Amino acid sequence: MKTAVDKMQNEVDLIGDGSQIHSLPTIRGRHKDLKSVSPHTVSQLLAGKYDDVISGYQIIDCRYPYEYEGGHIEGAQNLHNEALITDLVTNLRARDSIQRNILVFHCEFSSERGPKLLRHLRNLDRKMNSDRYPFLFYPEVYLLDGGYKAFYEQHQTQCQPRSYVPMLHQDYSKQLRHFRVKSKSWTAGEKQNMRSRSLIIDTSPLKMPLW
What amino acid positions are annotated as catalytic residues?
107
88 close to 79: Cβ distance less than 8 angstroms: yes
Q: Give backbone dihedrals phi and psi of 21, rounded to 5 degrees, phi first.
A: -80, 165
CA dist 193 → 86, 94, 116, 170, 200 (Å): 10, 19, 18, 35, 11
Residue 203 near residue 130 (C-beta atoms within 8 A): yes
Length of the chain: 211
Tell me the three state secondary structure of residue 144: strand
Other Cβ atoms within 10 Å of 120 Cβ, number: 17
Q: What is the DSSP string of 3-58?
A: HHHHHHHH-TTB-TTSSSB-SS--B--S-TTS-EE-HHHHHHHHTTTTTTT-SEEE
- CA-to-CA separations, 168 to 3, 165, 172, 177, in angstroms, rounded: 48, 8, 7, 10
